[in-house]
Chains A and B, each alone.
Chain A
Amino acid sequence: KQEVTQIPAALSVPEGENLVLNCSFTDSAIYNLQWFRQDPGKGLTSLLLIQSSQREQTSGRLNASLDKSSGRSTLYIAASQPGDSATYLCAPPGSGGSYIPTFGRGTSLIVHP
């Protein structure tokens, strides 16, 4: 069974800092990995999708890297803003060649002015 761990569990930073959110997963035989953002009481918003053949994917101030062999992905947030406050979830697929997104508990981020 795919197990997903995100570190840190929570993060509180002042506006303007560059951030690193870490994701590790146990089954590295994955097709892709997706990063999501979730605001309190809301659904998930897709941020980035990295294919297994890629090492990085960028969208605006967000950059996600994938090291499939070591079972790790990292989300970098540049110049953080209060509007970035949310829970960030990474989702590799499940085990055994599945492509069903599998989640850990996420990283809860607060960016204060």
Chain B
Amino acid sequence: DTGVSQDPRHKITKRGQNVTFRCDPISEHNRLYWYRQTLGQGPEFLTYFQNEAQLEKSRLLSDRFSAERPKGSFSTLEIQRTEQGDSAMYLCASSPTTRQGPNTEAFFGQGTRLTVV
């Protein structure tokens, strides 16, 4: 297993354009998380999926943001009408659920660096 994969690694876009990021979690990890990180800050939670169900969304996830995980495998995060304030690193993580319960380790991808000009 190659770990959590994110694509693209870098994206430069003009203000007002739409962008979409992809995350491929570790195989058989049923939980998937999206975070946003700006310079000098820790990652901020955006949204969480268990299989294909989006179970939690942060207030940071404005109506310009949408995330999907249609078949419970890969996930996409779309930002519509991008603004300069959307410039950040977008991180994806996944974790499994085991018979012992939810106390499992989360693994992160390398992130997608978005720059809005």
Contacts and interface: CB of A to CB of B under 8 A. Distances in A.
A99 B108 contact: no
Given A46-B105, A49-B105, A51-B103, A41 B113 contact: yes
Interface stretch (A13-21, A31-39, A62-70, A71-79): A31-39
A53 to B, nearest CB: 9
B33 A101 contact: yes
Please classify how large the interface on chain B is, using the bins under 10, 10 to 19, 20 to 34, 35 or more. 20 to 34
Given A43-B91, A46-B107, A52-B103, A103 B113 contact: no
Contacts, number: 57
Given A43-B109, A100-B48, A89 B103 contact: no
A49 B101 CA distance: 14
Contacts of B108: 36, 43-46
Contacts of B85: none
Please classify how large the interface on chain A is, using the bins under 10, 10 to 19, 20 to 34, 35 or more. 20 to 34
Contacts of A103: 35, 42-44
A103 B41 CA distance: 9
Max chain B C-beta neighbours (<10 A), residue from A31, A44, A51, A104: A44
